[in-house]
Amino acid sequence: MIGVLGENGRLGYLRPSITVDEQFIDACEGHGDPETRFRFADRCVENSCEHWSGARCSLIGRLMTAGRDTGAAQSAELPRCAIRSACKWFSQEGPQACAICPVVVYRPA
């Protein structure tokens, strides 16, 4: 887990990140969908993911466009993120990915 959603609707980043274990999963039981409150990260599976397009993740481009279109508050300051050196979004888009990342929130359909 790399972050926790704050009351201000922005992600607070954890350094170091926290490994999800059985204890964490048990603690989440009965408290709704954890993805709506926490940000999880795993290795990129590229072609096995619905967001992979050609040779890149298509999701971050759509999120950046949506952020521009909605005027989502973006920060010029890079979040203190624990996974930057391995982050696919950062490797593709650089600091612009990190500008929108704190306001990306999962909401189930």
Q: Which residues bind ligand SF4 (CB under 6 A)?
A: 79, 81, 83-84, 87, 89-90, 97-98, 101
Q: Measured between alpha carbons, how far is residue 47 from residues 79, 82, 105 in Å?
A: 28, 25, 23
Local structure of 105: helix, strand or coil: coil
**Of residues 17 and 34, the one with the C-beta less far from ligand SF4:** 17
In angstroms, what is the minimal distance from the CB of 22 to ligand SF4?
A: 25
In angstroms, what is the minimal distance from the CB of 79 to ligand SF4?
A: 4
Helix ranges restricted to H, 1-109:
22-28, 59-70, 88-93, 95-100
**Of residues 23 and 85, the one with the C-beta less far from ligand SF4:** 85
**Of residues 27 and 86, the one with the C-beta less far from ligand SF4:** 86
